[in-house]
Structures are given as structure tokens and as C-alpha cells.
Structure 1
Amino acid sequence: MGVPKFYRWISERYPNISRITIDRHIPEFDNFYLDMNGIIHTCSHTDDENNDTNASEEDIFRNIFHYIDFLYRMIKPRKVFFMAIDGVAPRAKMNQQRARRFRAGRDRMQKLNTLAEKSGASLNELNRFDTNAITPGTEFMTNLNEQLKYFINVKITTDPLWEGVEIYLSGHLTPGEGEHKIMDFIRFTHSQPNYNVNTRHCLYGLDADLIILGLVTHELHFALLREEVTHGVQKTTKIPLPEEINWHLLHLNLLRDYINLEFSSMKVGK
């Protein structure tokens, strides 16, 4: 789960830790990780009042594949590419999710009924995507998992950039949230006897708690990739294309140095 406004606060407090990416100035990374649920939500609906679109399942899958391919070509990982989709959450969060999704479903039906009355169409004719389908175990997630496997096989066999890279997909049937599955993978690889401590990691995700999770890995080189968040801008009903977005890299090694410098006076002497 995210921490509201934490990313904005910390990037304003330490402005040098985050930079807009420029293709020729992107650092080289060994491992690239995707917290897939952010991509799924971005490619399936907008943040307008209706919070849904009339995009078909095929259109959503196509948007997701394009998004993944764009991010992969931007970072160009040298060794590992890991994609993690949220599985079944811990019980405490499951209860919170259930209440939130029942409320979202009720609000969605009210908006659809209002829209149907205005347009004179039936609910079936509106054909709106239900965002509650982005839940482990649904038919939508099962279809997405199979399509992602097919997409990966196509890219491995046809795209030279994907050659020689270890590809991992942790689907919705594997328990745990995406970011924690990624952290488990990082800790596991770090425990291996032949692990290179200078491995450079890049993680894409929208949740601000990834900043804390990245710091506690104690990796020397760790960066977070995320879309630019604009405040006070009018919302759009169009699903954004990744080419139209300003991308930011937040360098956690710089953040660690800033924190160490700011609180150095509080260290207890030996």
C-alpha cells in the first residue's frame, strides 16, 4: 500500500534525489523490476469521475504490453527482468480491500445507472470495464496471466534486446503483494554466494512505500522509476501513452546520504 503524498514530500525536501529521465543519460542497470498492478490500472482506466472506460479486454492487454515494452527499452536491463502482479494479500489488507471494492462497486453501479438514464441505453450496452476485476482469481487476471506468458515468449524469440536476460513473471496465483515479492527476490539473490554487491537495481512502481522498501534492502545502487505526478492539473478521460509521460528516476543511494547527513548530529558517540 502507498503512503499518501510521501513521494511528493520527500522529493521536495531533497530535490536532487529525483531527476527527469533523458534517454542518453539513463544509467546502466543490471536488474529491472516491475510492480505490475500500477501498469494494469494505468492501462485499463483513467482517474476521471467514472474511473472506468469502455476499452475492451483486448485493448487493455495491448496497452499493457506496449507499456512493458516501452519501459524495458528505456531501462535495458543487462541481467534480470522481474514482473510481479499482486497475489492474495495478507488478511488485514484483504478486509480493507473487500470494504473498498464493495464501496467502489456500489458507486460504479450508481454512476452507470445515471449514465444509462441520460443516454437511453441499457447497462449491457454501456460495456464499461469494471476495475474490481483487477483482483487475484478473477477471469480477467487469469486471461492476463496467460497473455503475459505468450507476450514474454514472443519477445524472447523475436526481440534481440530480450536475449541473454533472465525473465521472471510472478502472477496473481502467487500469494503476496507485488512489491514484497520483488523484495523477497532481491533478498534471495543477495544471499547467494556469487552475488555481486555492485549490482545496479531499478524498480518501477507507483506506491511511495517502495522508497522505504528500497532503502531497507541496503543495496548500494538502487533507483525507483515512476511517472511524473502533476498536482492541480485537470484530469483527462484518455488513457495515457508512456511516450507522453515525463519519467523520473529517484536514486535511493543519494536519499540515504541525505538522511545520514541530516541526522548525523544525532548519532550517539561510541
Structure 2
Amino acid sequence: MGVPAFYRWLSNRYPKIVKDVVEDDVQVINGVEVPVDTSQPNPNGVEFDNLYLDMNGIIHPCFHPEDRPDPTTEEEVFLTMFDYIDRLFAIVRPRKLLYMAIDGVAPRAKMNQQRSRRFRAAQEAEEREREEEKLREEFAKQGIKVPKKDRTAVFDSNVITPGTPFMHRLSVALQYYVHLRLNGDPGWRGVKVILSDANAPGEGKHKIMAYIREQRGLPGYSPNTRHCIYGLDADLIMLALATHEPRFAILREVGRGGVGCGVGVSWGERGGCWPPGPRLASLREVGGGVHEACWGVEVAKKPYQFLLVNVLREYLERDLGVPTPSPLDKERVFDDFVFMCFFVGNDFLPHMPTLEIREQAIELLVHTYKQLLPSMGHLVEDQPRI
């Protein structure tokens, strides 16, 4: 979900908040892969204390990965997920905490939206199934041999819902994975691991933020703790600003582009050739219309970027700061910015019809805010922060 176009707007307006990730490559020695030693210093020149994973941003891509064929069993999904977490852990290399949060039962408004979206997804999948059966019948009438369609046990991603048997098996698999890494990977040694599965209510990102706020209120908490959160939603930027943590970074994918063979028909941002996934496996021999080499296409490794919230805080302090009768509280300025962004949409809340990010809505809000701040004061009521 998130806020469409917000990340692009922010990175264009404040370019120095984005930093490309530097990764150590997995080495192959005598045909054996040697994993990255995560106990070594971080190649990005910064050491993080805590890493938080919004797991739904990992689970869904593992159902339809871009760098390999779609999985056909739950075991393949779990293995893909473990590889995904390994790569994120190797990028950030947290030294104190790894917090993995899976979406639990969502608030009522979000639940209504999810229900309509998933009913629509099930209906569209049924329509695609009927269309494919019609095509198979037409090919059969023309005497074209069509391979049988591979049935997959993980075709329906609607099982990624709190309360399903799949989510229970996923929780057990992640517990096994954590146990394996804590006992066998030197980079995990001394790291506290917390797994909040789908049995705990609330969305993963909000459970993470509640944990951070709770830790801020404990005695002995260090204000210099370095946090890094991975997630695909743009509203993580607003949530990170709302924590008022001075050392915060968001790990994001640069894009979803791939490298296709150049022969098949393009199928969107994912790259590659049409038809993708299992459909390509079943129809690649039909009439020679699909390039034979498309099935083994090599997809580029997705790069990542850090969004530096501490640099964004400096940008906002300079951009929104205006002379006022009383001293300006920069923390309240950040709260005001988050509040204003609610009007252009926030997760399941629709944006105002007259405000669209692509039509300079945030620039209008910022300009109006700077004009009225000296006379009206801050938008958000000052409250004690934990």
C-alpha cells in the first residue's frame, strides 16, 4: 500500500537522502558458494544496531520472485524467503537486534480494503483460468500439442492472511531459520531476534514502531542507537519521522526491473518475456511463438538504496523553517510535515480529491504552511514524547 509517488517526489526534491547500497558478493570457490561473512565491518561505512523487517514486503515477492521461476511448493517459498532475509541481513549487519514483524489482524478500515482487493484478485484469477482453458481448447482443435499445466500449491497468494494454516507453517519455518542462523552464522552471534508473527494483531510496520517507542521509554536507552527498517511502503518514511529518532535509515529496493532476452514481448516493470512464470513453462512450445531461451532468462540482481531519515530531517528543518515570534521547535515541524502529508494519502486513507502529489500538491501545502506558520503556529498540538 503506502503513498503512491511520495518516494519519487521526496528523492527528487531532496536528492542527498538517498544512498546506494554497497554489497559484498557471494564468492564461488571450486564450485562451492561461500556465504558473506556478516561478522566483518559493514561495507557501507556505517554500523547499525537494530534491523526491523516488515515481513509482508518479503513474503509477497517470494510468491512471485523476479530472479527465478515461480515456486511450486511451500518449501520453495520458504527457501526463497530465507535467501531474501540473508541478503538483507548481509546488507545491514545489525549488531544488537533483528525484529521480524508479520502483519496480524489489521484495523477495520484496512480490513475492508483488503477484503475488496482480495475478492477482486480471486475473481481476476478465475477469469484468467477460463481464458487459458479456451486457448488450450483452440490449440488442441488446431492439432497443436499443448503440455499439461503444472498445478502449484502456492498459486493463491490470498493465503497470506492472519489465521490461515499457511501463516502457522510460515511462523514455524521462520523459527527454524532463526535457530539455524543463531547457531551457525558468526554474524548472528550476540544478536537478539524477535519474531512477531500473524497471531499478534496489527500491521507489521506499526508493531515495529510501537516497539521502538517502547524502547525509548526504558531506562538506559541510548539516543544514538542506529535503526534500519526494511519495507516497501512509502508511509514508512512518515512513521520514521514520527519516531523522532536522530539515526534512522530505510532500506528499499531501487526498482523491479529485470533483464529479458529481447525476443519475447515485454510484460511490464518486472522485465523478461511474455508469458511469465508457470504460463511460460506450459506454453513455450506452442507454435514457436515464444522464444525457447526465455525460460532460462537471467534476471539482474535488484539493487538497494538507503533512505537516510537523519538527512531528511536536516532538509526539512531548512526547507520549512521560517522566522517566528517564538523559537522554532524542529521536532514539531517534522510532526507538521507528517500531518500535512496525510492530505495526499496515507496507506488506506484516500487523498483529498483536489490534492495529487503528481500535480505539486505537497509543494502547495508546504508553501501555505510557511506563510501561515508565523501567525498560526504549529499544526500539531505539542505533546510529551517518549
Q: Match for residue 165 of structure 1?
A: 191
Counterpart pick for 1:126 among 145, 151, 154: 151
Q: Match for residue 233 of structure 2?
A: 207
| In 2: Cα distance, 1:137 partner to 1:26 partner | 41
- Deviation at 1:125? 4.9
Contact 2:105 2:198 in 1 (8 A): yes
Q: 1:182 to 1:173 in 2, by over 3 A?
A: same
| In 2: Cα distance, 1:46 partner to 1:58 partner | 14
Q: Match for residue 151 of structure 1?
A: 177
Contact 1:86 1:178 in 2 (8 A): yes
| In 2: Cα distance, 1:79 partner to 1:242 partner | 34
TM-score (norm 1): 0.90
Q: CA RMSD in A?
A: 2.6
| AA matched with 2:44 | H
TM-score (norm 2): 0.64
| In 2: Cα distance, 1:214 partner to 1:119 partner | 50
| In 2: Cα distance, 1:38 partner to 1:26 partner | 26
Runs (4+) off by over 6 Å: 121-124, 240-243
Q: Match for residue 13 of structure 2?
A: 13
The superposition leaves residues 169-196 of structure 1 with CA deviations (integer Å, 9 ceiling, x where unpaired) of: 0001100000000001101111101100
Q: 1:9 to 1:263 in 2, by over 3 A?
A: same
Matched ranges for 1:73-152 at <5 A: 73-119=90-136, 125-127=150-152, 129-152=155-178
Larger RCO of the pair (alpha carbons < 8 Å, separation 6+): 1
| In 2: Cα distance, 1:268 partner to 1:58 partner | 60
| In 1: Cα distance, 2:312 partner to 2:116 partner | 36
| In 2: Cα distance, 1:123 partner to 1:87 partner | 38
Matched ranges for 1:178-193 at <5 A: 178-193=204-219
| AA matched with 2:191 | V
Q: Which protein is bigger by CA-based radius of gyration? A: 2
Q: Is residue 43 from structure 1 mapped to residue 62 from structure 2 by the alignment?
A: yes
Q: 1:259 to 1:242 in 2, by over 3 A?
A: farther
| In 2: Cα distance, 1:205 partner to 1:195 partner | 25
Unaligned 5+ segments in structure 1 are none
Higher helix proportion = 1
Identity %: 46
| In 1: Cα distance, 2:298 partner to 2:74 partner | 17
- Deviation at 1:113? 2.1
Unaligned 5+ segments in structure 2 are 24-42, 138-145, 258-267, 278-296, 327-386
The superposition leaves residues 63-91 of structure 1 with CA deviations (integer Å, 9 ceiling, x where unpaired) of: 00010011111211010000000000001
